[in-house]
Each structure stands twice: as structure tokens, then as C-alpha cells.
Amino acid sequence: MICFPNAKINIGLNVLSRRTDGYHNLETIFYPIKINDALEVIEAAEMGFETSGIPIPGYANENLCLRAYELMRKDFDLPNIRIHLHKNIPIGAGLGGGSSDAAFFIKLINDKFGLEIAKEQMLGYCKVLGADCSFFIENRPVFAQGIGDEFEPLDIDLSPYHLVLVKPDVHVSTGEAYRGVKYSEPVNPLKTLVRLPVEEWNCNIKNDFEPHIFNSHPQIRLVKANLLEAGALFALMSGSGSSVFGVFNEKPDLSMMDESCLVYSDI
């Protein structure tokens, strides 16, 4: 059985406070986009995990899919499987690719073996695997709070626009992003600001990771400037970076982008 885990972008991200468990409370909007991995599972005599596409840093046995299977095997009598993950979602890009693979893997195992797991139990597995993993279970636009795992559905549709994503040749780890962040309560809640016309988002919707990540990685600041110069109504770094998305009225000319950047159109 095969599925196609997709990436997300964050339309705004306010880091509100640091918690005693080391995590941060935030408010953000998660929005699914059309950049996908491919994830296939077959029954096998022995456990196996192989990948293709973009190389994944770290040990294969720490991959979130395998960690998800270990969790599920504590609750269900599951056979050995062979997993193939074709990685296409850029890594360390603020696109939540690893979390998406894990959430889609849980849904895939549920379907493949007819486990009929309740949504709450799936969300329970996700919480162990990563703060933004839960989002990918329902995988629809949401306003998120807490550590990024408490959701309210949000009626927002960017499909009338051209959505472009640019990934410079920079890897930002989520830990690095949170370590340098300056947090504060925003004057206006994101939930209110997102109701403004897209043309007014630039002056109002921010990502609290941008200032210090732009200082350490000026190439990312340049990508955002290039998107705005190309006519973006709104441009913002996604999550912890390094990718930046732009919302355009028309398909833009992005020939000024440095050739080391990956450009994804109509996502």
C-alpha cells in the first residue's frame, strides 16, 4: 500500500512563551501544500527500511516512520514490514516533512491492517513523535496553539493565488530556530490578522523566527526580498526555515533567484 505525505507551510508564527518542559507555546496557521513524499509498506519476512530521493540526515533506525511502528507495535500485534520512503520534501526547510511521513505512516498502517484506530489514539502517537506531527492526521488548514498541537479548523483557501516556495541551499534545524527566538505576546492575534485581505498580510503577519534566522543565514533574507520584488502580495519564511513562500496574483518571473535555490510553483 502506498501514500503520498505532503508538506505544510506556516502562515504566520508567533512564539508566545517558553514552557517549563523546554518547549514553547506558539500560535500559527498550518496550511497543507502540494509537495509530496511517497511512502510504501509491504508485508515481509523481516523488517526493512529503505529510502531514495533526497538523503535523510541521521540514522535510518531513528526515522520517524520506524519510531511510529515501534509505538504501534506496543498496542497491536503487527507483522514485519518493508518500508520504502521516497524523499522529495526538502529537509530542514520548515515544511514538516518528517512529521508528515510519520502521520501518514500511522494512517497507512491503520488502513493496511484494518486496525480501526480512533483519531484520538493516532493523535496520541503523533504527540510522542513531534510537535507538528498531529496536524497531518486531518491535514487541513488550521489555527494551531499550544506547542503546535491544539487545532481549530480555519476556513482559508489560497487556491485562487499562485503559491510559490523557494528553498535556498541552507539547512535550519528546529532546535536552532527555537534557541535564538525572542518571544512575546502579539498585539493582534493571528486569528484576527488572517482575516485581512492578503495584500495587507505583509505589514501584519510575521514569523518570529525570521529576525535571527535571517541574521545567521542572509541567503534566506535575500530569497524573501526576491519574492517581494517579483510581485508577491505576501512572502514569509515557513516555520523554522529555510524555505520561504510567496503568494502571487499571477505566475511570477523568478529568474533572479540564485541557481542554488529550489523553486516549487503552484503548490
Ligand X SMILES: C[C@@](CO)(OP(=O)(O)O)[C@H](O)COP(=O)(O)OP(=O)(O)OC[C@H]1O[C@@H](n2ccc(N)nc2=O)[C@H](O)[C@@H]1O
Positions marked active-site: 8, 132
CB of 145 to ligand X, least distance (A): 10
Beta strands (DSSP E) in 115-181 are 142-145, 150-153, 162-167
Considering only the C-alpha atoms of the chain, give the largest distance between any 2 of them, rounded to a whole number of Å. 57
Could you tell me the three cell numbers for 210? 525570521
Which 13-52 residues touch ligand X, going by CB under 6 A? 22-24, 26, 28
In the list 27, 37, 132, 208, the residue contacting ligand X (rule: CB under 6 A) is 132
C-beta of 78 vs 158, nearer to ligand X:
158
Which 57-96 residues touch ligand ADP, going by CB under 6 A? 57-58, 63-65, 85, 91-96
Which 102-131 residues touch ligand ADP, going by CB under 6 A? none
- Binding partner of 147, given ligand X, ligand ADP, none, CB within 5-8 angstroms per partner class: ligand X
> Does 147 participate in binding ligand ADP (rule CB under 6 A)?
no
> Does 10 participate in binding ligand X (rule CB under 6 A)?
yes
In the list 12, 130, 168, 246, the residue contacting ligand X (rule: CB under 6 A) is 130
C-beta of 103 vs 154, nearer to ligand ADP:
103
C-beta of 26 vs 244, nearer to ligand X:
26
Beta strands (DSSP E) in the chain are 2-3, 6-18, 24-36, 38-43, 48-53, 81-87, 142-145, 150-153, 162-167, 234-237, 244-248, 262-264
CA dist 205 and 232 (Å) reads: 14
CB of 237 to ligand ADP, least distance (A): 11
> Does 27 participate in binding ligand ADP (rule CB under 6 A)?
no
CA angle 89, 94, 95 (to 5 degrees): 35
**CB of 152 within 8 A of CB of 28?**
no
CA dist 42 and 48 (Å) reads: 10
Could you tell me the three cell numbers for 145? 496553539
Residue list, annotated binding site: 90-100
